Structure 1
């Protein structure tokens, strides 16, 4: 297989066809293929599907063929004619016409015959050739009407040809793509010269003859010309390797972006790379536009801060060998620096020893009970340390920090070091726990992207949560619940699962947090009852809010509400009508009953989401919020329903969605209800009759 993508880049690794529906290996008259389905060759060597265009945000796609194992695109039906908004439909009609219809544009006709026939079939072969055949009445092949091998793009597969077919009036040639993730024809082409009967590479009208085998290593060349082939630039800089660029993600601090832009859409990635190497002033580059065109160069990277947070920029930084100038100065500067460093270490060690003596005196005064690890969560009933399962190791897999270490890490609990504040006090950074006198502290992993509600309920930041990220967050939360309910050494019921308690790391992976309301169950314990109801209205299950009964199905209910919030971008309690109380669950149920489930979806993702995935998520949500806990799925079943399309889903029953404040007050005497709110945390106390 020969790849010809801007001379040196790899083939385009597109989106994920395996999330689509398999439609066989071909099309018969009347069949269609849309953006939610795909074809495979008989032995699953190649796939035919509508692949997305790289990192573009306007939902562009093209019909293409990809290698089944690697997902690399090897052919595109219309590189210069993108399809918008996932509207492409490949159709083989009853007259033998093979075409792609698209929203707002004329159809792309692949084949149309002057003598219509309905005895045709379009099939994807194991060679990677997509063929339209006319058949005899007995099913044997009569003739080939059209094939993708006659229209190569940037890849030459075994069986393809380069040259000119005078009989069919076809020219077989390869054309580079502008960049690996933007399949638009680039400046290079590989074609047969009809006069000299040889292959030539052409770039914008200039040609280079190819005589003999082509064996040049392109990654060792800075660029190319029409006379000398591989070209090394004369900029005298010592680089560390033949591929001297490192990819770094981050951002520039204010007024620190020393960049120059070349906005020509004819410039691709390889052009930017060659220019950066040839200009001694440039130390880094990146594509200017999200489609991989244009160039941006930097002359100074000192104000660049590395980060994997949302909105960071990917920059290709040139790695240079350090200058040898001033090497002799280190002969006498080095020992001086070493002596100073040794002195600093000695002073620091003496200070630590002195401080440790004081800490030892304090620790010896503590009682033995204060030094043992207590329960990790608040519980309505006591649980001894012997009741906690152990995996054979001494102690438990929790890091225990000294009080002095916590003081040092938080700068004596200063306001500058505080990240936030929850219902049980201020939040700082570390990982583990600390027990000091009456103080009980849990130290959490630091999450740079804050919590889910920080993005989900903000009109601007919610746009950063596309459908792929939202579905990944839903799946991650479900896996976290399975761990708590099934695989953890302690069976944990969270009791307060909501958007503000879902933290997001630098890659937007969700982490369930805030176990202040959690309860530990023994492995054979199915449910429990409490007189003190804690949690947040809108997320509490009916049996818990009304009767104080909770189980793993209580967390399942909360997850169902949370999933509806992620799909809609709206808070559970953001719906109210004068004649009745209606929350997000009730709104979702009404839309589902009317067959208008997609109306629930957040407008920022409605045009780009995968409809069948969204409808399945709404379906599973309604199963999770059913009135009876017995009817709700387990966490394992819940995840299977979300990720396994073959899992049959039962019809949801009408949920008990009027569980707002009015519903509880209507069934509870005034003197028996007490509602607390601390830092956004809602807690209800219901006394026994």
Structure 2
């Protein structure tokens, strides 16, 4: 009870001399001084100044419960900037801005009202909401500002926890640092709109707990949210807003949802008998609430020991690790999928649905139609209903590994997971299977000789076209292993006739574009799977080295923000086969006047954070450190949900061990994206990719290319222009006009700030990608960016001709050759 009391109360001490004027408003002529308070009309809440510790000089402006014996602060205005004296003053200005000032009239906090009214007042409502409005207007739709839109570590009944996509408001909880320090801590609880929306408890940028998607009754991972006589629950998901809220049926009940400083989400109710706050529900509630504990296709069941096991018909990726209770490698299908031969679906019941950030949904179609859509797409891993009320409705599809699954039981949901057709048989077919097996044995014996002859011919044919030994196995590309490699790269081999059939003999109508490697075609395999086919051109500036490099770099990489390499072909030609991205590349949208309107700010921010996570995986989380060296808008592909995938690893560099930097006499890349130290001295490290990422961020925000950018007031490129605007406090001028409605200004300006940190002149000043991911997800202060690379004004008469893209140019200063690559 002592520890609970320490958490619940957020103990603050109100000085004994606090007085109340028995009013609930602050006006232009009647500010609120330290030592006085205002009280809501029903007497439920009080607003004033407080200190969290006895005899502390730190003073905060907050709202707390008035009627209960052990009050709890539910909102703080200046949580990150304490006042060190008692001469604070909260006043209303003529411009309808509520402002907190300390000694010598120094403002430390203010509301952000965008319009003024004739008679502005601030009023504390009996719901605990502090609002700024016209004194004569009580319509909530006309409030100029309200504290409900800016919660701290607590939400009250009626607060919308989530996103207002029209106003650009993100309402989320952020923990305090401790019970005596209300400044922002490490934990956040917020709505994630990606895929089918759900809520996440985050420790900085790392997910700790996931609510699961809303199923019409409750969140899939929150079985405790059941109809009861105390609460009502609501989840709204529309193009205008996405939010969750709870309301009280009985107004005599006091309840709040609070995120503690140690990362636990708790619903607390006031217990009149005990005269204390008691816990109604916790999240995480047990070990199975830990996000991704059993990893891909693993299922957590708190009733079992150990709690993690693989789903039925799945087996551990690493049995030894699982036996040692290390489940981080996850599970895999016992029988691999074969989309061309036909897959099916197996029903699993009573589950918390997997992470839906990489999902697609449609509320208007039924489960049967949902199955058909998923079956036609070889990348679709599972499907379920979006709404379980009645007989169920809506369609939810997953397009990545299924992560964070928990056994819930009767309150759980059904999900249909893709399986190889051979896994879907039943015991009644046993005799039939035996007969088929015998026939297959005879068939194998009959064709064995023919198979051996075919393999010999294939060896002979491959040896004529590829230097080195080529294995005939369908899962080996040993010819790609360089001397000294410890292990070969395994990748499916496609026959040339299969690729010719899939692309209608490389039909012009199937051509998607052409880059430094060669033309790219759309293809469709016999089973219906769509693919992208990259064919090495005879005139390509890239050759066998780049072909081998791309295979080595990406064949074993598995990340949702990296494009998947499905296989290759080495018969007569060198061809790479990728998953097909229906929305082409980022430059197709971002630099087109009409198409870029389809990328609102939430989608652009999703793209920025996705690229960041992909680079973090390459630099830090994959088995080897990989520097891409050609990161640009052309090489960011977009899937069906406009989520980014980094592509084109032909110029990438792999580092092993502790090696993280190198130099070269042949600097390769694309003007506008390569860093100064690489272009001039040939020096490169992970900070080269960081620089390119920074350029991408500024291009995504502005909708303008760095290379070729012009401005009537100066001759700087986009980087220099952005830096000038930042120094002068004019960042909003950089924002694409198409984002005026959808953008969350604070988030956009923070992205610009991060982009400028990434393009600083010195690589030592640039942040690592782990820091970038943290900065994009957080709300803390950021260092002031230094001058970006290439900041000196350009002499436009000496700008490289854009038509030279694709040709080699030599730098006369240092014998470096810079290879420019065409857009894909």
Q: Give the TM-score of the pair, scaled to structure 2.
A: 0.42
Q: Give the TM-score of the pair, scaled to structure 1.
A: 0.49
Q: Which has the larger radius of gyration?
A: 1
